[in-house]
Amino acid sequence: MQQLTIVKVGGKIVEDPDLLSAFLKNFALIAGNKILVHGGGRSATALAEKLGIETKMTEGRRITNAEMLEVVIMVYAGLVNKNIVAQLQKIGIDAIGLTGADMNLILSEKRPVKEIDYGFVGDVKEINAAAILELLKQDYLPVIAPISHDGNGGLLNTSNKKTVCNNS
């Protein structure tokens, strides 16, 4: 298999139409297979505020209670993910929007409570590389929202502050 490039783009870019457009045009120029992972935290915070749900952060990380989990799922897996996919389609890239729960892509475990209880935040345990490779072989560009699952039917707001890399 040829080289694989994984790019993580944050909320500041994905939430600004002009910045997103410029970013995606440059992203499209990356040769070979690629995966786009995105955030969208400021959009989640804005929707939570509209819904009267308090946003709690500590050390730059979101505390995700049950109400906030619903918000981040709606925003990341819905609004932000599908907007990115549509913008990629516009520039001729056949993208598929997913979360880590889709195709069993990302299995996580709920972050253990230590000094801080992060709530429904997951730390990546396993990545289903075979499923991702299959999408890439079919010339799809995976656009992955940071929502994973715990293997027991629960969804988790996946931590993007801790990078997990498996080179095998």
Domains and CATH numbers, the chain: 4-158 (3.40.1160.10)
| pLDDT tier, 3 (very low <50, low <70, confident <90, very high otherwise) | confident
Whether the per-residue pLDDT at 163 is higher than 60: the answer is no
100: closest CA among 149, 141, 136, 64? 149
| pLDDT tier, 2 (very low <50, low <70, confident <90, very high otherwise) | confident
pLDDT of residue 165: 39
Whether the per-residue pLDDT at 162 is higher than 80: the answer is no
Q: Are strands 95-99 and 141-145 parallel, antiparallel or unpaired?
A: parallel
> Average pLDDT for residues 30-37, to the nearest whole number?
96
| pLDDT tier, 155 (very low <50, low <70, confident <90, very high otherwise) | very high
Q: What's the sign of the alpha-carbon dihedral 82, 22, 69, 54?
A: negative
